[in-house]
Amino acid sequence: MCTPPLDLSFKDLNTTIVAISKEPTQGRHPLTKNSDGKYVTRSMRLRYNNLDDTVGLELVLTYFLAEPYNLGWLDLSFNKLAYIDECICKLKELRVLHLHSNKIETLTEVNKLGELQHLHTITLHGNPIKTTTRDYR
Protein backbone atom coordinates (compact mmCIF):
# COMPACT_ATOMS: atom_id res chain seq x y z
CA MET A 1 0.00 0.00 0.00
CA CYS A 2 1.34 3.41 -0.97
CA THR A 3 0.54 6.27 1.38
CA PRO A 4 0.92 9.99 0.69
CA PRO A 5 3.83 11.85 2.30
CA LEU A 6 3.56 13.96 5.40
CA ASP A 7 3.93 17.40 3.85
CA LEU A 8 5.57 20.25 5.77
CA SER A 9 6.58 22.16 2.65
CA PHE A 10 6.18 25.93 2.30
CA LYS A 11 5.89 26.40 6.08
CA ASP A 12 8.63 29.08 6.28
CA LEU A 13 10.62 26.94 8.72
CA ASN A 14 13.93 28.43 9.86
CA THR A 15 14.70 25.45 12.08
CA THR A 16 13.55 21.87 11.81
CA ILE A 17 12.17 21.76 15.34
CA VAL A 18 9.63 24.51 14.57
CA ALA A 19 7.86 21.98 12.33
CA ILE A 20 6.16 20.42 15.36
CA SER A 21 4.15 23.63 15.77
CA LYS A 22 2.84 23.40 12.20
CA GLU A 23 -0.03 21.48 10.74
CA PRO A 24 0.89 19.27 7.76
CA THR A 25 -0.63 20.21 4.43
CA GLN A 26 -3.53 17.97 3.55
CA GLY A 27 -3.46 16.75 -0.01
CA ARG A 28 -6.10 15.12 -2.13
CA HIS A 29 -5.50 11.82 -0.35
CA PRO A 30 -5.71 12.21 3.44
CA LEU A 31 -3.07 10.71 5.68
CA THR A 32 -4.01 7.93 8.07
CA LYS A 33 -3.34 8.23 11.79
CA ASN A 34 -2.84 5.37 14.21
CA SER A 35 -4.50 5.07 17.64
CA ASP A 36 -1.78 7.31 19.12
CA GLY A 37 -2.60 10.09 16.65
CA LYS A 38 0.62 9.61 14.67
CA TYR A 39 0.73 9.54 10.90
CA VAL A 40 1.16 6.20 9.17
CA THR A 41 3.48 7.01 6.28
CA ARG A 42 7.05 6.30 5.21
CA SER A 43 7.66 9.59 3.43
CA MET A 44 8.05 13.22 4.42
CA ARG A 45 8.41 16.53 2.63
CA LEU A 46 10.24 19.46 4.19
CA ARG A 47 10.95 21.20 0.90
CA TYR A 48 10.74 24.93 0.17
CA ASN A 49 11.60 26.14 3.64
CA ASN A 50 14.57 28.10 5.02
CA LEU A 51 16.39 25.28 6.79
CA ASP A 52 20.14 25.76 7.36
CA ASP A 53 20.43 22.35 9.02
CA THR A 54 18.37 19.35 10.07
CA VAL A 55 19.18 19.46 13.77
CA GLY A 56 16.07 18.23 15.56
CA LEU A 57 14.84 16.12 12.64
CA GLU A 58 14.68 13.02 14.84
CA LEU A 59 12.35 14.79 17.24
CA VAL A 60 10.13 15.96 14.38
CA LEU A 61 9.95 12.45 12.93
CA THR A 62 9.12 10.98 16.33
CA TYR A 63 6.48 13.65 16.94
CA PHE A 64 4.64 13.09 13.66
CA LEU A 65 5.28 9.53 12.50
CA ALA A 66 4.08 6.18 13.82
CA GLU A 67 7.33 4.52 12.73
CA PRO A 68 9.92 7.31 12.40
CA TYR A 69 12.90 5.07 11.75
CA ASN A 70 11.15 3.33 8.87
CA LEU A 71 11.20 6.51 6.81
CA GLY A 72 12.01 5.55 3.24
CA TRP A 73 11.64 8.85 1.35
CA LEU A 74 12.69 12.32 2.50
CA ASP A 75 12.47 15.55 0.51
CA LEU A 76 14.66 18.39 1.81
CA SER A 77 14.96 20.19 -1.52
CA PHE A 78 14.90 23.98 -1.88
CA ASN A 79 16.34 24.81 1.53
CA LYS A 80 19.71 26.24 2.60
CA LEU A 81 21.43 23.05 3.74
CA ALA A 82 25.23 23.22 3.45
CA TYR A 83 25.95 19.96 5.24
CA ILE A 84 24.35 16.59 5.89
CA ASP A 85 23.60 16.12 9.55
CA GLU A 86 24.21 12.78 11.27
CA CYS A 87 20.50 12.42 12.02
CA ILE A 88 19.89 11.65 8.33
CA CYS A 89 22.45 8.85 8.53
CA LYS A 90 20.39 7.24 11.30
CA LEU A 91 17.50 6.68 8.90
CA LYS A 92 18.62 3.18 7.95
CA GLU A 93 15.55 2.45 5.79
CA LEU A 94 15.98 5.60 3.68
CA ARG A 95 15.80 4.82 -0.01
CA VAL A 96 15.18 8.22 -1.64
CA LEU A 97 16.66 11.53 -0.52
CA HIS A 98 16.00 14.80 -2.33
CA LEU A 99 18.62 17.44 -1.57
CA HIS A 100 18.52 19.45 -4.78
CA SER A 101 18.67 23.25 -4.67
CA ASN A 102 20.53 23.54 -1.38
CA LYS A 103 24.09 24.72 -0.58
CA ILE A 104 26.06 21.46 -0.46
CA GLU A 105 29.58 22.11 -1.79
CA THR A 106 31.71 19.04 -1.13
CA LEU A 107 31.67 15.36 -1.88
CA THR A 108 32.73 14.78 1.73
CA GLU A 109 29.21 15.73 2.80
CA VAL A 110 27.61 13.35 0.32
CA ASN A 111 29.95 10.52 1.33
CA LYS A 112 28.37 10.55 4.81
CA LEU A 113 25.38 8.88 3.21
CA GLY A 114 27.48 5.82 2.32
CA GLU A 115 26.33 4.02 5.45
CA LEU A 116 22.72 4.04 4.24
CA GLN A 117 22.60 0.62 2.61
CA HIS A 118 19.16 1.02 1.05
CA LEU A 119 19.67 4.51 -0.38
CA HIS A 120 19.37 4.25 -4.16
CA THR A 121 18.29 7.74 -5.21
CA ILE A 122 19.73 11.09 -4.18
CA THR A 123 19.25 14.38 -5.99
CA LEU A 124 21.94 17.05 -5.77
CA HIS A 125 21.41 19.25 -8.83
CA GLY A 126 21.24 22.94 -8.02
CA ASN A 127 23.90 22.67 -5.30
CA PRO A 128 27.36 24.29 -5.51
CA ILE A 129 28.85 20.77 -5.65
CA LYS A 130 27.86 20.71 -9.29
CA THR A 131 30.44 23.41 -10.07
CA THR A 132 33.05 22.69 -7.39
CA THR A 133 33.40 18.95 -7.94
CA ARG A 134 33.88 17.65 -11.44
CA ASP A 135 31.94 14.49 -12.19
CA TYR A 136 30.35 14.54 -8.73
CA ARG A 137 27.71 12.11 -9.95
DSSP string, the chain: ---PPEE-TTS--SSGGGGGGSPPBP-SSPPPB-TTS-B--SEEE--SS--S--TTHHHHHHHHBSSGGG--EEE--SS---S--HHHHT-TT--EEE--SS----HHHHHGGGG-TT--EEE-TTSTHHHHSTT--
Phi then psi for residue 13, to 5 deg, are -80, 125
> How confident is the model over 47-61, as pLDDT tens digits?
999 999 999 999 999
Residue 33's identity, in one-letter code, is: K
- Is-above-0.75 flag for pTM? yes
Phi then psi for residue 120, to 5 deg, are -120, -15
List CB contacts of 69: < 8 A, sequence separation 6 or more: 61, 90, 91, 92, 93
- Quick one: pLDDT at residue 22? 97
| Domains assigned to the chain | 6-23+33-132 (3.80.10.10)
Separation of alpha carbons 55 and 31, rounded Å: 25
Instruction: Name the average pLDDT for the chain.
Output: 94
Phi then psi for residue 132, to 5 deg, are -90, -20
> How confident is the model over 64-94, as pLDDT tens digits?
999 999 999 999 999 999 999 999 999 999 9
